[in-house]
Structure 1
Amino acid sequence: MSNHQKRLSVPNSWPVERKTATFTVKAGAGPHGRDGVPLLILLRDVLGYADSKKEARYALNQGSVLVNGEAVRDEQRPIGMFDIIAFTERDEYYRVFPDEGGRLALTRIDADAADGRLAKIEDKTQVPGGETQLNLHDGSNLRVGDGGDYNTKDSIVVSNDDKEIVAHFPYEEGCLVTAVRGQHAGEIGEIADIKVTPGSGSNSVVVEGEDTSFETVEEYVVVIDENFTGDDE
């Protein structure tokens, strides 16, 4: 199986130029599904910390590049929305955040903000033993003893150390959200109204911000905290 991906067919979320070359690196198996961006692209094409795959592999083998608190040595490891990337030797920390057009961008954060990652609850199910499993946007899941406080479309912050929930942001009118897909991707505001669509159609939300107001389907928004909106330093 080829380790290459044609640039013209990469997902819109990938922060790569499509016409500078024919191929780029292919994402390996892992979280975020097809939208996951290979770590190599962030190291080489976005941050400029490596000039080649060989240099990236050498840096990763030092164990000083962490993704969500865990050392990563695979340059094809998929990186996606809200992941936390730490460069311990540089004392640099970044959060992957949706930018205009839905492309993923790196937002510089401080060390304290890098202790946990934001996750959207896509679904929840009961598992044997009475626990509730929360299925998250990146394909991972988390079990909680009492799932009554958590609903789909809510967001949580999961600690990198012990994988426990350290914050919970309910999906409701007045909450702060960012659009992650669609023509308003990257825009931030508060939900002013949730419009329930009868039948099987998607509900829509009206979002109002300081400089923007838009309407989109609720699947395209993620609840965030004000600390996730920009540079924390």
Structure 2
Amino acid sequence: MTRHQKRLSVPNSWPVERKEGTFTVKAGAGPHGEQGVPLLIILRDVLGYVDSKKEARYALGQDSVLVNGEPISDEQRPIGMFDIISFVEREEFYRVFPDEGGRLSLTPIDADSAGSRLGKVTGKRQVPGGDTQLTLHDGTSLIAKDDSIDVNDSIVVSNEDKDVVAHFPYEEGALVTAVAGTHAGDIGTIDEIQVTASSSPNNVLVERDEDRFETIEEYVVVIDENFTGDDE
């Protein structure tokens, strides 16, 4: 299996230039699936903190780069939507957020905001003992004490103890952002959820300042004002 990824075939969410070369680094196994961007690309191509894989490995070996509160030593670790990247020595903190077009970008945040991350609930089931297990958009799972949390809701998870510290229901009137499709990066409130009586996805009508747009349920994530990039 090749250890490289052709630039022309990377997902649209990857913040790389496709015509600057033939290959780029391939993401390793981990969260976010094929959409995950290798940490090396963030360090080298986006932030410019390192010039090579060797420098990245040295920097990561100092345990000063945290992703969702955990030190990362693998430069291929996939990074994706709503991850929190912390540079301890620099006292810099970023949230990974989709911009216009769906390309992942880094939003500077403060240290307090870096203590938790947003997650969209994509699965819910009961496990032995009666607990509720939630699956999030990046493939991670956790046990929640609040049984009212449902699929398509969003939660805020503490990076320290993995507890749910906030819950944003998916409902009409909720603040959302589109994370894929034509309207990726757009933010508005849900005006109407159109449930389809078939295998087709539900449609969502979202109101913006002066207009509204339509997308599918899979492409919207409920957020809070603190997750729009205005909390710097």
Maintained 8 Å contact 1:130/1:145: no
Q: Which consecutive unaligned segments of at least 5 residues does structure 1 have?
A: none
- Equivalent-residue separation in structure 2 for 1:211 and 1:196 (angstroms): 25
Root-mean-square deviation over aligned CA pairs: 0.9
- Equivalent-residue separation in structure 2 for 1:67 and 1:201 (angstroms): 35
In the alignment, does 2:197 pair up with 1:198? Answer: yes
- Equivalent-residue separation in structure 1 for 2:123 and 2:33 (angstroms): 16
- Per-residue deviation, 1:199: 1.9
In the alignment, does 2:168 pair up with 1:169? Answer: yes
What is the 5 A alignment of 1:82-93?
82-93=82-93
- Equivalent-residue separation in structure 2 for 1:137 and 1:5 (angstroms): 23
What is the 5 A alignment of 1:25-36?
25-36=25-36
Maintained 8 Å contact 1:69/1:161: yes
| Equivalent position of 1:15 in the other structure | 15
Amino acid at match of 1:87: F
Percent identical across equivalent pairs? 73
Amino acid at match of 2:22: T
- Equivalent-residue separation in structure 1 for 2:160 and 2:182 (angstroms): 36
**Residues 110-159 of structure 1 deviation map (CA, whole Å, 9 limit, x = unaligned):** 11110101000001011111111101100000112452x11100000000
Aligned residues: 232
- Equivalent-residue separation in structure 2 for 1:31 and 1:212 (angstroms): 35
TM-score (norm 2): 0.98
- Equivalent-residue separation in structure 2 for 1:161 and 1:108 (angstroms): 20
- Per-residue deviation, 1:3: 1.6
Amino acid at match of 1:209: R
Maintained 8 Å contact 1:172/1:191: yes
Q: Which consecutive unaligned segments of at least 5 residues does structure 2 have?
A: none
SS in 1 for 2:93: strand
| Equivalent position of 1:226 in the other structure | 225
In the alignment, does 2:59 pair up with 1:59? Answer: yes
Maintained 8 Å contact 1:206/1:215: yes
| Equivalent position of 2:76 in the other structure | 76
Amino acid at match of 1:163: K
Maintained 8 Å contact 1:107/1:231: no
Amino acid at match of 1:165: V
Maintained 8 Å contact 1:109/1:232: yes
- Per-residue deviation, 1:231: 4.0
TM-score (norm 1): 0.97
| Equivalent position of 2:132 in the other structure | 132
